[in-house]
Structure 1
Amino acid sequence: MDIKLLTDCPRDAVDRLLNVIHLFRDIRASSEWQYDVLLKRSRLVGLQPGEPLLNAGDVDQWVYFLLRGELQVHVEGERERLVSERPLAIIRPGELFGDLSMLLAEPRSATIVAAPTSRDTQVLGVDCTLFADLDDFSLLHLPTKLVFYRNMVHSLRWKLEVYRSKYPGHQLADSHRKLKLYTGPKNSREELSALADQARALARILLDWNAEFGSGQLVDDDPEVNDFLESMLS
């Protein structure tokens, strides 16, 4: 595993990379200083074919974005057998993952490895520890945490809508649509609490879907991401 801190990479290239990721783009639009705080908590991870990134049972607060290559999701089996097992799901470039464990503060339920045929797997990891305590604004302020949880809710609802479109008659199909939406004061602590509750509820519904069908959506590679990675790895 090859790990590079984003703070050790050329800033202009980093900015181009993060501008295609909604979370970073939205936080930077809100505050350049808050963007810098999150930048210091992020890293670029390179994986060899078949190398694990996450293991079932791990406990941490990292959320990831796959930038290049392909990842496989496995729910059981010894590590030496993972590369030969049929994966539960495939993660492709553009996908956010690891959010369920972070939101629910539970051990990771799956092992994620670079696909055996993926020769250039690159992942962006973000340490989201600072988002977990909703009452701590010493480093990340209220607007930044609101951006984070709005992004989490949007991402989870999108994944659930994909499941709903594939299995419209399933008993879980309308579960996320039945969750009560927040209608109180905007940009408030009350909204932050409501968004966090909604994200956790959506995460549990998505876990139920994943347990039955797996996960993974097709998203095309982004040329700006490829340009950044080529500059970092050349």
Structure 2
Amino acid sequence: MHSVMLNRFPVERLEPIFQSLPFFSQLLAEHRTDLQALYEHSKIVVAEPGESIIQAGEFDSWFYFVLNGELSVISHDEGNVEVGLIYPAEIVGALAIMYDTERSATVTVRGNEKALLLAVDYTPFGELDDFSQISLAGKISLMQLVAERTEARLRAYDKQFPNTDLAERLRALPKAPGNTCDLDALHYWYYRIDALAQLLKEWNLTLENLDDYHPPVTPPSKALLDDLEQLYFG
């Protein structure tokens, strides 16, 4: 993989990319102090076809927003089984870091196209109740995004398998505390993500055709990606 730290680029040139990603667009609009902290701890990554982004069994502090290309999630628990596909505008790698566990799967670049990613070092987020670098609102924003994307994938599964108990198990999870920004909300999202991740891991191993179970997302535009590649490659 090749990478360049974001702070080598003028922040105003990167703002259109930030605006195309839900978590960053919220920071740009409401929490610029958080955005500045992450700007100093983020990088643009280019990975070749077949190259590993994340390796099962390892510990590291990076998570990724996919800007272009397609990633494959490989589980080694049941042999080398492809259990997930990651497309542009999706986030990958955050769960293991949030819960301080080793990577549970390997993530590689799928197909014949390079992958372009925005990599973020989770270190500034610190411990759950540490707000010295990233605010409470910034942490909740990231957790809501991870929960939303995980639940969207589970609901896509449920739509394809309406006679399973998945919908019932999702409904059994505690309800969200509303649009609040306090420690109770932070802890709620933290534990909800853990419960959703356990369901996702269980269901991933039952799938046969992964393309059927991908929730829709809106990737960054080609014009934005072309501009970013021009910045990256000069």
Instruction: Please classify the TM superposition score into its range, dividing by the shorter chain length.
Output: 0.7 to 0.9
Identity, % of aligned pairs? 27
Equivalent-residue separation in structure 2 for 1:185 and 1:159 (angstroms): 22
Deviations 1:165-185 (A, max 9, x none): 122222333322211124389
Contact in 1 for aligned 2:83/2:205 (Cα 8 Å): no
SS in 1 for 2:128: coil
Contact in 2 for aligned 1:156/1:203 (Cα 8 Å): yes
1:159 paired residue number: 153
Contact in 1 for aligned 2:37/2:124 (Cα 8 Å): no
1:141 and 1:88, CA in 2 relative to 1: closer, same or farther beyond 3 A?
Answer: closer
Equivalent-residue separation in structure 1 for 2:197 and 2:107 (angstroms): 18
| Residue 230, structure 1, aligned to residue 229, structure 2 | yes
Deviations 1:71-102 (A, max 9, x none): 2222239xxxxxxx874433222221112322
Equivalent-residue separation in structure 1 for 2:9 and 2:170 (angstroms): 40
1:58 paired residue number: 58
| Residue 95, structure 1, aligned to residue 90, structure 2 | yes
Equivalent-residue separation in structure 2 for 1:93 and 1:62 (angstroms): 17
Contact in 2 for aligned 1:2/1:45 (Cα 8 Å): yes
Which residue identity lines up with residue 61 of structure 1 in the other structure?
A: S
Equivalent-residue separation in structure 2 for 1:99 and 1:150 (angstroms): 12
1:81 paired residue number: none
Equivalent-residue separation in structure 2 for 1:209 and 1:49 (angstroms): 27
Equivalent-residue separation in structure 1 for 2:47 and 2:176 (angstroms): 40
1:205 paired residue number: 199
Which residue identity lines up with residue 73 of structure 1 in the other structure?
A: V
Question: Which ranges in structure 1 are unaligned for 5 or more consecutive residues?
Answer: 78-84
Question: Which ranges in structure 2 are unaligned for 5 or more consecutive residues?
Answer: none
Contact in 2 for aligned 1:184/1:190 (Cα 8 Å): no
| Residue 30, structure 1, aligned to residue 30, structure 2 | yes
2:141 paired residue number: 147
Of 168-177 and 35-44, more deviation after overlay is shown by: 168-177
1:6 paired residue number: 6
1:75 and 1:19, CA in 2 relative to 1: closer, same or farther beyond 3 A?
Answer: same
Equivalent-residue separation in structure 2 for 1:221 and 1:162 (angstroms): 18
Deviations 1:36-85 (A, max 9, x none): 111112111111222111111112232211111222222239xxxxxxx8
SS in 2 for 1:186: coil
2:127 paired residue number: 133
Contact in 2 for aligned 1:52/1:114 (Cα 8 Å): yes
Contact in 2 for aligned 1:167/1:173 (Cα 8 Å): no
1:132 and 1:157, CA in 2 relative to 1: closer, same or farther beyond 3 A?
Answer: farther
Contact in 2 for aligned 1:71/1:112 (Cα 8 Å): yes
Equivalent-residue separation in structure 1 for 2:229 and 2:10 (angstroms): 13
Which residue identity lines up with residue 228 of structure 2 in the other structure?
A: L
Equivalent-residue separation in structure 2 for 1:22 and 1:219 (angstroms): 11
Which residue identity lines up with residue 222 of structure 1 in the other structure?
A: P
Equivalent-residue separation in structure 2 for 1:29 and 1:47 (angstroms): 30
What is the aligned-residue RMSD (CA, Å)?
2.5
2:107 paired residue number: 112
SS in 2 for 1:170: coil
What is the number of residues matched between the two proteins? 226
Equivalent-residue separation in structure 1 for 2:149 and 2:81 (angstroms): 26
1:28 and 1:220, CA in 2 relative to 1: closer, same or farther beyond 3 A?
Answer: closer
How high is the TM-score relative to the length of structure 2? 0.85
Displacement of 1:132 after TM fit? Answer: 5.1
1:48 paired residue number: 48
1:172 paired residue number: 166
